[in-house]
Amino acid sequence: MKKIRVLSGMRPTGKLHLGHLLGAIKNWKSLQSQDKYECFFFMADWHALSTAYRHSEHIAQNTIEVALDYMASGLDPEKCTFYVHSHVPQIAELFILYAMITPTAWVTRVPSYKGQIQELGEDIDTYGFLGYPVLMACDIVAFRAERVPVGKDQVPHLELTREMVRRFHFIFGKEIFPEPEALLTETPLVPGLDARKMSKSYDNAIYISDEPDVIQKKIKTFFTDPEKIHMGDPGHPEGCPVFFFQKIYNVDIAPEIEKDCKAGKLGCVACKKKLSESIIKDLAPIQEKRRELASRPEYIKEILMSGAEVARGVAEETLVLAREAVHLL
């Protein structure tokens, strides 16, 4: 039976946090272990370069950190193809072909584009960043991937990808790319220490590689229900970010925590202590594996090299079709 090809990637901007672990990696792990899927996961270093070109000296190390986080969290190079974006030049070649047929309005109108320039500053008002959605489309179609596990925020990019595929087929008269569909991650947005979305740029994240004492300290600062000041005050676990994590890390006692919090029997300090303990315990084997992997840099490089070789092979098959469709000599 032909497998369904799945592809996703992440920009290596630094170490990964619980938002990545619970939002994306958990989902990717379940996909890689299902027989019907053939998975490709990559570290999008070219995309990182599009916003962080002034600090490109960190990109290689960040790429390694992300690879360590991925593998320590259970992404298995035996079960998926795991590679670095810039190791697959066929993607860049396809990007040139797609760039020729992408109307400028399609990229300038991407809703996140102007917002991001406002957020990140004029520095990213570059030709490369403008082309980000086109490159992202090529990341997917170079592998003729059919499913793309991403968060809701990426859905407009996938819609654009489908439109670009249709345009390519229409202009060159040959159907070579499947129209990819998003596989939405079920986890709702993971809240950070200040209750906003967990994100490196908000400085509110708990990292996969944080030491136990760091985790404890961070969790003590967690935003909780502002109406619960004293232990005896009744709390509102529904909107409380600590309770969000209790439901994941203390599933079995979450109903009890909820009841006791509402009844004013459980204070935030004790509640947070239970949470730190469980998160630390859950991360321990991941961190152990991460340390072990980090001590074998040659092995990591080998994995990335062999992943890239497989990826180049698959992308080259697509490019043979694409060059022919475009009538290049």
Stretch that binds ligand TRP, among 4-12, 31-39, 100-108, 286-294 (CB under 6 A): 4-12
- Name residues contacting ligand TRP, limited to 153-192 (CB under 6 A): 154
Residue 95: closest CA among 63, 64, 132: 132
Cβ 235 to ligand TRP shortest distance, Å: 34
Distance CA 195, CA 76 (A): 32
Nearer of residues 75 and 148 to ligand TRP, judged by Cβ: 148
Confirm or reject binding of residue 48 to ligand TRP (CB under 6 A): no
Confirm or reject binding of residue 9 to ligand TRP (CB under 6 A): yes
Cβ 122 to ligand TRP shortest distance, Å: 20
Q: Tell the residue number behind the tokens 């939002």, with chain if given.
A: 23
Q: How many CA atoms lie within 13 A of 312 on its CB side?
A: 11
Cβ 262 to ligand TRP shortest distance, Å: 36
Binding residue (CB under 6 A) for ligand TRP from 39, 44, 48, 322: 44
Applying CB under 6 A, the site for ligand TRP has a residue count of: 13
Cβ 239 to ligand TRP shortest distance, Å: 26
Edge-to-edge strand list for the sheet holding 80-84: 80-84, 37-43, 4-10, 147-150, 181-184
Instruction: Enumerate the β-bridge partners of residue 42.
Output: 9, 83
Confirm or reject binding of residue 90 to ligand TRP (CB under 6 A): no
Cβ 42 to ligand TRP shortest distance, Å: 8
Rounded CA Rg of the chain: 22
Measured between its terminal Cα atoms, the distance across the chain in Å is 35
Stretch that binds ligand TRP, among 62-70, 147-155, 204-212, 256-264 (CB under 6 A): 147-155
Confirm or reject binding of residue 94 to ligand TRP (CB under 6 A): no
Stretch that binds ligand TRP, among 30-38, 54-62, 69-77, 146-154 (CB under 6 A): 146-154
Q: What are the b/e assignments for 129-148, b being 16+ CB within 10 Å?
A: bbbbbbbbbbbbbbbbbbbb
Cβ 173 to ligand TRP shortest distance, Å: 26
Confirm or reject binding of residue 139 to ligand TRP (CB under 6 A): yes
- For 263, the 3-state DSSP assignment is coil
Confirm or reject binding of residue 140 to ligand TRP (CB under 6 A): yes
Distance CA 140, CA 142 (A): 6
Q: Is-contact 215 205, C-beta < 8 A?
A: no
Q: Beta-carbon neighbour count of residue 60 at 10 Å?
A: 13
Binding residue (CB under 6 A) for ligand TRP from 47, 144, 162, 290: 47
Instruction: Kindly list the residues in this chain that would bind ligand TRP in the complex (CB under 6 A).
Output: 7-11, 44, 47, 136, 139-140, 148, 150, 154
